[in-house]
Amino acid sequence: MEAKQKIEALRKELREHNYKYYVLDDPIISDYEFDIRLKELQALEDQYPEFHDPTSPTLRVGGAVTKNFETLKHEYRMYSLDNSYSKEDLEDWEKRIQRILGDVQVEYTCELKYDGASISLTYEDGKLVRAVTRGDGFQGDDVTTNIKTIKSVPLQLKGDYPPKFDIRGEIILTLEGFAKMNQERMAQGEEPYMNPRNTASGSLKLQDSSLVAQRPLECLLYSIVGPNLNIESQFEMLEKARSWGFKVPTIAALCKSTNEVLKFVEYWDVHRHDLPYETDGVVVKVNRLRYQDELGHTAKAPRWAMAYKFKAEQVSTLLNKITYQVGRTGAITPVANLEPVLLAGTTVKRASLHNADQIAKLDVREGDTVFVEKGGEIIPKIISVDLTKRPLGLQPNEYISNCPECFTKLIRKEGEAQHFCPNETGCPPQITGRIQHFISRKAMDIEGLGGETVELLFKEGLIQNYADLYMLTEEQIMPLERMAEKSAENLVNGVAASKQIPFERVLFALGIRYVGETVAKKLAKAYKTIDALMAASEEELVAVDEIGGRIAESVIHFFSEEKNCEIVERLKTYGLQFSLSEEQLQNQSDTLKGKTFVVSGVFETLERNELKKLIEDNGGKVSSSISSKTSFLVAGDKMGPSKRAKAENLGVLIISEQDFLEMV
């Protein structure tokens, strides 16, 4: 019993020292003293393995090797953020918020937007049980073993934490830590890493966790999701998370107006260069969680948050040549091939020129000196030409008239910005592009198969379309370049496993023009089977919520092509999911078809999202704001008086949660 008490006392002491050193940056003992205590604990744990604890400080050093990172579904989706770049953007966002919430006083929490790798940590009973990368927002990779080596991530919480929750944040490298890593690499004769963000992201997928433990990674946290959190606001959430032992940045402000928000932005646009981390903007959030709940989300982002991006860095360089890429839909994209230049931490060699109109508008020519910036800090773009450096005699750019790959004459439809190659079945980049889209993470997510392998399989004549993937054998794959028995086996197994992917993602994977993830979900929900969708008329398709004429026309065109129907029939025989599952169909009905609901307030029986799902499962539509088209306002406790007044003025029927439940 004495040994157990000694072990528990040492663990408690070391956790506290860890917290003071890595979270508070306020150590009270030397590194040497810490190491002596850690070795003492390790020796006791080795001697008494029956007292094993997965949250012990001795397990921070890593050593476990992960061959394949398991893909896990997020219990709560990880959304991306909408961006703003001006005062006008911010004011427009505020107007949209007030339109939905009505006449209420809205406060905003401002936090710096740290440039790292997004992570979601799950805690149960105060213990870290899971760490998952953002992935596509719906699912990510399980990197728990690697995250446990990061000293600022608590393995055991303290204080009044909820029984279960997810906390989101960024894995980052400090500028000092990154510089030190590069000094060590160059001393060993190796190439330096390009930037802290990509290096932090790459660290999470290292197979050997002991290598991750050697890197000076930190985890900065900013958002908690889960049931029964008993937290009223974003600002309170930050304070709570700090008290439980998380490293939460102290730079945050509570603002009463967008003017105060802009002052925060202006200050940090100048002073961000004094920070130990890279940051590319300010995240502005509606402070009250009840209002966040009421504002909800669009298909991609929360309506209650906005990333205000700092002014993009700009550099000038030489445009050597304009080349042209062919996408999977046949769209032609002109690309500027640049003299390599360092921009926002990465070497830029290429930038998109978008289309013929953009080239003409900029009057950009091969041999020009151009100004390049990163649009939204991600995609480099040419913003102007330095005419003072234009050599004499430079000829205007002449846009190509034939496909650079298959030499088919290009077409440009009226109202379209881009030129297209119409040779869908014979143009190699279109064929491989459709297959690459099919296997992508948000579509069929086929493990063991990447873009380069698709190109190789096509070049070797093993595949001509995505249905051919389901006929591949290990014997066909093994003789190929860079292929071996294990990689061939993984590829075939990955293709087989994709047969379980649900209908809406299979529909998205088919690559129908204008049918993205959200549209695919709406069509799958409306028609339930591929056969019903294939038989739908244009009029019927347009009648589906948010399906316009352009989408309907594209769906009709896709299924009118005999080759596409043949591929779908083949995929059916291979066992892909072409109808909603029984689980998805359960509790679904057309009871609320044609009716639009606005949900507002706090409810007793259901959480707001559960209530919205019930509306959609029964054929109804959920809207964020009241209008003359609103059928019902489902009113909960603490609903704003202005929303009730607007509903009454427009003659919208106001019902309670119980009234609604009786309807369905």
Is residue 124 very low, low, confident or very high in pLDDT (cuts 50, 70, 90)? very high
Is residue 377 very low, low, confident or very high in pLDDT (cuts 50, 70, 90)? very low
pLDDT at 404: 95
pLDDT at 48: 77
CA distances from 122 to 237, 283, 410, 607 (A): 16, 23, 52, 20
Residue 577 contacts residue 499 (beta carbons within 8 Å): yes
Q: Which range (54-63, 239-248, 583-592, 649-658) has the least confidence?
A: 54-63
For 221-242, the pLDDT digits (tens) are: 999 999 888 899 999 999 999 9
Residue 161 contacts residue 243 (beta carbons within 8 Å): no
Has residue 649 got a pLDDT over 90? no
Q: Residue 382 CB: number of other CB atoms within 10 A?
A: 22
Contacts of 587 (CB under 8 A, 6+ apart): 617
Q: Quick one: the chain helix, strand, coil %, rounded to 5?
A: 40, 20, 40
Q: Residue 488 CB: number of other CB atoms within 10 A?
A: 20
How far is Cα 291 from Cα 104, in angstroms, rounded to an integer? 10
How far is Cα 29 from Cα 390, in angstroms, rounded to an integer? 63
For 526-566, the pLDDT digits (tens) are: 899 999 999 999 999 988 877 888 899 999 999 999 999 99
Is residue 582 very low, low, confident or very high in pLDDT (cuts 50, 70, 90)? confident
pLDDT at 458: 94
pLDDT at 93: 93
Q: What is the maximum alpha-carbon separation in the chain?
A: 89
Has residue 49 got a pLDDT over 80? no
More confident residue, 217 or 36: 217
> In percent, how much of the chain has pLDDT > 70?
96
> What residue has token string 């890595």?
22
For 394-425, the pLDDT digits (tens) are: 999 999 999 999 999 999 988 888 999 999 88
Has residue 63 got a pLDDT over 70? no
Measuring CA to CA, which residue among 239, 234, 220 is closest to residue 293? 234
Has residue 376 got a pLDDT over 60? no
Mean pLDDT of the chain: 88
> In percent, how much of the chain has pLDDT > 90?
48
pLDDT at 412: 92
What is the mean pLDDT of the segment spanning 616-631?
85
Measuring CA to CA, which residue among 596, 531, 542, 543 is closest to residue 568? 531
What is the mean pLDDT of the segment spanning 144-170?
93
What is the mean pLDDT of the segment spanning 633-657?
85
> What residue has token string 């003359």?
628
**CA triple 205-210-213, angle to 5 deg:** 80
Contacts of 88 (CB under 8 A, 6+ apart): none
Q: Which residues form the catalytic set?
A: 113
Give, for 346, the enclosing helix (H) or strand (E).
Answer: strand 346-352
Has residue 1 got a pLDDT over 70? no
Has residue 367 got a pLDDT over 90? yes
pLDDT at 409: 96
How far is Cα 549 from Cα 540, in angstroms, rounded to an integer? 11
Q: Which range (155-159, 343-347, 478-482) has the least confidence?
A: 343-347
- SS3 (DSSP) at 602: strand
